[in-house]
Amino acid sequence: MHIFNDVVKLQLALDSYRKKNETIAFVPTMGGLHEGHLSLVRLAKQKADKVVVSIFVNPTQFGENEDFDKYPNTLSNDKSLLIDNEVDVLFNPDADRVYPDGFATDIKLDSTEGILCGASRPGHFQGVAQVVKRLFDIVKPDVAIFGQKDYQQLLIIKQMVKNLSLDIDIKSGDIVRQKSGLAMSTRNQYLSTNEAITAANLYKILNELKQGYLNNQQLDLLINQAKKQLEHHFKLDYIEVLDANTLRQITDNTHEIAILSAVFLGPVRLIDNIIFRRKNV
Ligand code: AMP
């Protein structure tokens, strides 16, 4: 695996692939790698000739009181996982390479930026869009892979690619979970053993909501019930049941439904979602 922190050296290597007509799949991450990330790497390998992974903890997507300063750094373990998974290139830049002096972007996002995670993390998706656009400009991938785990992020990036007419195919990978059902996340490292057991209730409750909905129970009642259950274990940020394509209220034209939730457990904010096809539509 080639490792670069310099943009120009990275681009020379990527140009040499392109000269041989080799396609490039890109998986952006913030490190602290786990099976969820590695599943995206494996998907990337199916989609292109060469796989580039970035590890960059992007300061602009963290809020003031968030965990930027203590975000897990497991770089040497990450490198061996990437080598085991036959990644071709790791791009691991410092912040001043990603954001050189005077760098400025203002990417226009649609109104879904301000709902769900965007409501409790103001500016977060602006930071995400900024770094993803910058990394796309540097890597110029044919395909880029994102996890359904960050479902709102996935839709915002798809929208950005469409708005800017970028020639990049955005693919998504399913959520990888622990046996307990807890969605894998780098931040799960912050959980104690007992908290990790409690955390598994999030997926359980979302799944019960889905089953209730598919059994034709009334949605309002199901959401209220899920709220109560979530509040029993967590401090609730939000739980919403929306059209999965628009993140707006369900209408007669809705074909896919998204159940999305974020909760706090101690200092950790957990997010999860379930996307499924609506019955009889
Ligand atoms: P992060 O390192 O948290 O920025 O995540 C990098 C990529 O991995 C994003 O596209 C995430 O959506 C994805 N990802 C994170 N956790 C999971 C998971 N449990 N299953 C699948 N993809 C994930």
How many Cβ atoms are within 10 Å of 58's Cβ, its own excluded? 21
- What ligand 1 atom has the least distance to the C-alpha of 145? 10
The CA 185 to ligand 1 mean position distance, Å, reads 7
pLDDT (0 to 100) of residue 106: 80
pLDDT (0 to 100) of residue 281: 57
Contacts of 143 (CB under 8 A, 6+ apart): 23, 24, 25, 26, 44, 47, 48, 168, 169, 170, 171
The CA 27 to ligand 1 mean position distance, Å, reads 9
> Does the annotation mark 37 as catalytic?
yes
Catalytic residue among 2, 34, 37, 233: 37
225, with CB counted inside 10 A (0-12, 13-18, 19+), is: middle
**What are the structure tokens assigned to 116, written together?**
């769900």
Regarding the beta carbon of 151 and ligand 1, being less than 6 Å apart is answered no
The CA 218 to ligand 1 mean position distance, Å, reads 32
Regarding the beta carbon of 29 and ligand 1, being less than 6 Å apart is answered yes
- What ligand 1 atom has the least distance to the C-alpha of 175? 20
| Domain boundaries of the chain, sorted by first residue | 2-173, 186-275
Regarding the beta carbon of 183 and ligand 1, being less than 6 Å apart is answered yes
Rounded average pLDDT per 10-residue block, the chain, 281 residues? 98 98 98 98 98 98 96 98 98 96 86 95 96 98 98 98 98 98 98 98 98 97 98 98 97 97 96 92 57
Query: In CATH terms, are 2-173 and 186-275 the same topology?
Result: no
pLDDT (0 to 100) of residue 105: 80
- 2-173 under CATH 3.40.50.620, yes or no: yes
Are the C-beta atoms of 269 and 261 separated by less than 8 Å?
no
pLDDT (0 to 100) of residue 84: 98
Range 186-275: architecture per CATH: 2-Layer Sandwich (3.30)
